[in-house]
Amino acid sequence: MATLRDIKRRINSIKSTAKITRAMKMVSAAKLRRAQEKMFALRPYSDKISEVLSALARPSDEETHPLLKVRPRETVEVLILSSDKGLCGAFNSNVIRAGVKLIERLKKEGFQVSVSVIGRKARDYFRRRGIKMRQVWTGLSGKITYSSAQEVAQELMESYINETFDELYLVYNEFKTVVAQRVREVRLLPIGEIEKDESVDMKDFLFEPSEQEVFNRLLPKSIEILVYRAMLESQASEEAARMTAMENATKNAEEMIDRLTLEFNKARQASITKELMDIVGGAEALKE
């Protein structure tokens, strides 16, 4: 049976843990607020540029820009966005599981699959299983900037143009609410296979200075924006998941402290009762 000293030591230890989880929740809440501001500011722009692409991008334009070129699918790239740090509940396991399912499905369909990852958690997962990764980006969690997204997007576009792969999927957590994130699977390249908006008449568009120049500027920019949005969505989801996980951990710690305090009081009461019985017994022995 645990002694009073052992119970007291456990209570103090759990109190220290609760202080840490409570502080981590507050830090995550502050980071989430900043991430949400960036994400919500970008969403309308990202949605609009996707609308423009759905109106302009046509497979017949593949000679206008190489990003519009649709090739026979042989090699498919899957880019999985995870975090660098843990303590964020099922955030990483959900997105990695979805990415692995997509990889397995593509392999069953007969495609060669290459894997790239953002974040140490996904990197470590595939590294432990001996799965080769084409590209790895780490150290971006909590530090997402447009330039970092631009660097990732540029590498992906160059690889597609150089025919390193014929199709690209993004797998990431989309932010819904503080307590709910949804894993999304988005086909990013080729742009030529983007869903066409049939309600838009191309005669309504006037290209200045030229159609070629518009595509040269718009298409790379659109890929950069879509990658940036996915990274911001993932960052907001990570902080929301961590905040929820730390809140749950704090509640569990408080419940454990209450239970141990009750156990401590019962043990203390039993100890006092035993001491009183010893005193009474001793006094009765002296009378005899």
Most confident by average pLDDT, 73-77, 188-192, 214-218, 273-277: 73-77
Domain membership of residue 193 (yes or no) is yes
For residue 279, is pLDDT > 90? no
Residue 239 corresponds to which tokens in the numbers above?
């902080």
Other beta carbons less than 10 A from residue 29's beta carbon: 16
pLDDT at 68: 78
CB 107 within 8 A of CB 196: no
Q: Which domain holds residue 149?
A: 23-244
Distance, CA of 19 to CA of 11 (rounded, Å): 12
Please give the residue that has the higher pLDDT: either 61 or 123: 123
Which is nearest to 68 in space by CA: 77, 56, 85? 56
Residue 210 binned pLDDT confidence (cut-offs 50, 70, 90):
low
Residue 71 banded pLDDT, cuts 50, 70, 90: confident
Mean pLDDT of 163-186: 90
Sheet holding 180-189, edge to edge: 135-137, 112-118, 75-81, 167-177, 180-189
Which tokens hold the place of 259? 């239970």
Total number of domains in the chain: 1
Asked if 88 is an active-site residue, the reply is yes
Q: What is the pTM of this model?
A: 0.82
- Residue 60's pLDDT band (boundaries 50, 70, 90)? very low
CA atoms within 13 A of residue 157's CA, in its CB half-sphere: 21
- Tell me if 219 is assigned to some domain: yes
Q: How many CA atoms lie within 13 A of 215 on its CB side?
A: 19
Mean pLDDT computed over 88-116: 92
Three-class DSSP labels, the chain: CCCHHHHHHHHHHHHHHHHHHHHHHHHHHHHHHHHHHHHHHHHHHHHHHHHHHHHHCCHHHCCCCHHHCCCCCCEEEEEEECCCCCCCCCHHHHHHHHHHHHHHHHHHCCCEEEEEEECHHHHHHHHHCCCCCCEEECCCCCCCCHHHHHHHHHHHHHHHHCCCCCEEEEEEEEEEECCEEEEEEEEEECHHHCCCCCCCCHHHCCCCCCHHHHHHHHHHHHHHHHHHHHHHHHHHHHHHHHHHHHHHHHHHHHHHHHHHHHHHHHHHHHHHHHHHHHHHHHHHHHHC
Q: Show the tokens assigned to 247.
A: 């809140």
Pairwise CA distance, residues 118 & 135, whole Å: 8
Residue 250 domain flag: no
With respect to residue 16, please indicate whether it lies within any of the assigned structural domains: no
Residue 61 corresponds to which tokens in the numbers above? 């334009």
Q: b/e map of 41-63 (b: 16 or more CB within 10 Å)? A: ebeeebeebbeebbbbbeeebbe
Cβ(108)–Cβ(69) below 8 Å: no
Catalytic residue among 78, 88, 245, 253: 88
Q: Is residue 279 part of a domain?
A: no
Selection from 140-149, 196-205, 270-279 with the highest mean pLDDT = 140-149
Per the domain annotation, does 95 fall within a domain?
Answer: yes
Q: What is the CATH number of the domain that holds 155?
A: 3.40.1380.10
Q: Does residue 209 have a cis peptide bond before it, meaning omega lies within 30 degrees of 0?
A: yes
Comparing C-alpha atoms, which of 159, 269, 270 is closest to residue 223? Answer: 159
Mean pLDDT of 46-74: 72
- Angstrom distance (rounded) from CA 236 to CA 181: 9
Residue 262 lies in a domain: no
Q: Is the pLDDT of residue 162 over 80?
A: yes
In a domain, 175, yes or no: yes
